[in-house]
Amino acid sequence: MASVSTNEMKSGTKVLIDGEPYSVIENEYRKPGKGQATNSIKIRNLKTGRVLEKTLRSGDSWEAADVEDTDMQYLYNDGQFWTLMDPSSYEQIQAGEAAMADAAQWLKGEETVRVTLWNGVPLSVAAPNTVELTITETDPGLRGDTATGGTKPAKLETGAVVKVPLFVTEGEKIKVDTRTGEYLNRAGK
Amino acid sequence: MNWKPTASFDTLRARAALLARIRQFFAEREVLEVTTPVLSRHATVDRHIDSFATVDGRWLQTSPEFAMKRLLAAGSGPIWQLAPVFRLDEQGRHHNCEFTMLEWYRPGFDHRRLMDEVESLLRSCDAPESGWRRFSYREAFELHAGFDPHTLDASALRARLRERGVAGPDDLSADEGADRDFWLDLWMSHVVGPQLGRGAPAFLYDFPASQAALARVRDELPPVAERFELFWHGIELANGFHELTDAVEQRNRFEADQVWRRQRGRVVPPHDRELIAALQSGLPACAGVAIGVERLLMMLLGKSCIDEVMAFPADRA
């Protein structure tokens, strides 16, 4: 297995520590002029999301983790697994609930998603930054009220619930930012 | 391909002005400017400084110290120079593997008198006029770490550092676990150093004898090395010594460092025999200091990354 030395660790470098995959967030080199050099390295566990800081002697290395980000097409959910397809090889893989996390609520099928694979197994799935979805359920808004800035909850076709302005109505398609879960605008037909 | 410089032209003009000011300072004080070889048949054997080796078996200097001491032993009187220096694998926000060292030697000075001169030089380069501080290594640790660095053993140093949220490497060897200097270095780079010179610059002096490098050791209890460093905004800018002049002691330290390196499978360069010969013939009692010019410029201009003060840092060189 390839290894990565402290001077090769950049933000985004993927490493394996005690069998767990991590992504490097920050790497700070410190050295007293005539003393021991160390690197303080902030890393994120790619399975749990937990962030920790480690001190290494400069020149030490970690094993490189076989982690890659790739774009795949989301096909369907069978109630337990989400099936994803590599658009070039048509190879299909399945992601569980932990990997899907927040992404699941924005997907209805056919979308291109960013999948982080570790040894070929999906660690995490990111929905497209914005999605357009139809409102299936929301209270009728107050007619003519377009300016006061009030909001109400609206349920989307995928089951996600977002806050929308009062003038938006059931059956309308809206654009949502999946990173913040916020309504952006009406998407029209 | 990013071929452009990382420093602005304003910064490069400030650098040129700083170098001119330094040159004027030493001219006024009648200190002789010298140039010594960058490429040498021997190298430093310092435990924590690695040299670039060339294909013909020579070494790029990590400091012009040895050649300058040979000039002193030959009777040069006070000398200074601006030298390109090279340190393998030193790269970071405050490090570049190639940088400029301002180094000078003063026969008849001790480390205290040389600290005075460093202060005068920096003041003449627009460093703060007032508020300079001086702390012994012990005082600085008592103030910022809360203990006397000369008395705690390695395991206590390690345990207290862990309490501060700095764990140290996971895969410690027994050797490192028991090495006080290893832990003192971590304390210095993670806790104490960053607190020093937060307003005006601050000197740190009287280091543990185990960190004497090329300084003389004063026989007290505990013995301390007559060595100083200068910090500004938590960054180390300079290192100075009341120089060791004893040839036998110097050779012993070189050989001990070589043994240390060999035991750890590190590169063991040949130490400078000509320096030992010069010390045998007689190095005048003197003090010497080296200042990282790019770091000084960073602090004077309020820059946070060394790339901002270099035309082309290592990754664009």
Residue range B262-302, pLDDT digits in tens: 999 999 999 999 999 999 999 999 999 999 999 999 999 99
Backbone φ and ψ of B105, nearest 5°: -130, 140
A130-186: which CATH architecture? Beta Barrel (2.40)
How close B170 comes to chain A (CA, Å)?
Answer: 8
Residues of chain A within CATH 2.30.30.30 domain(s) are: 3-64
pLDDT per position as a tens digit, A101-124: 889 999 998 899 999 999 889 999
CB-closest option in B89, B94, B213 to A7: B89
β-pairing, B32-33 vs A182-186, is unpaired
The residue type of B117 is E
Structure tokens belonging to residue B169 = 């490497």
Quote the pTM value.
Answer: 0.84
Residues of CATH 2.40.50.140 domain(s) within chain A?
67-126, 130-186
**For residue B22, pLDDT beyond 80:** yes
Q: What is the pLDDT of residues A73-98, one digit of tens each?
A: 999 999 899 999 999 999 999 999 88
- Asked whether the beta carbons of residue B181 and residue A35 sit closer than 8 angstroms, the reply is yes
The label of the residue with tokens 């089951």 reads A159
How is domain A3-64 classified at the architecture level of CATH? Answer: Roll (2.30)
Contacts of A173 (CB under 8 A, 6+ apart): A132, A133, A134, A135, A186, A187, A188, A189
Task: Express each pLDDT in B31-52 by its tens digit.
Answer: 999 999 999 999 999 999 999 9
Q: For domain A67-126, give the fold.
A: OB fold (Dihydrolipoamide Acetyltransferase, E2P) (2.40.50)
3-state secondary structure of B296: helix
- Give Rg (Cα) of chain A: 22
For residue A67, which phi and psi values (nearest 5 degrees)?
Answer: -120, 130
Question: A-B interface: how many C-beta pairs under 8 angstroms?
Answer: 67
Residue type, B66: F
Distance, in angstroms, between B185 CA and closest chain A CA?
6
Q: Does B166 touch chain A (CB under 8 A)?
A: yes
- Closest by CA to B234, choosing from B201, B199, B204, B196, is B196
Cβ of residue B181 closer than 8 Å to a chain A Cβ: yes
Residue B146 main-chain phi, psi, to 5 deg: 85, 20
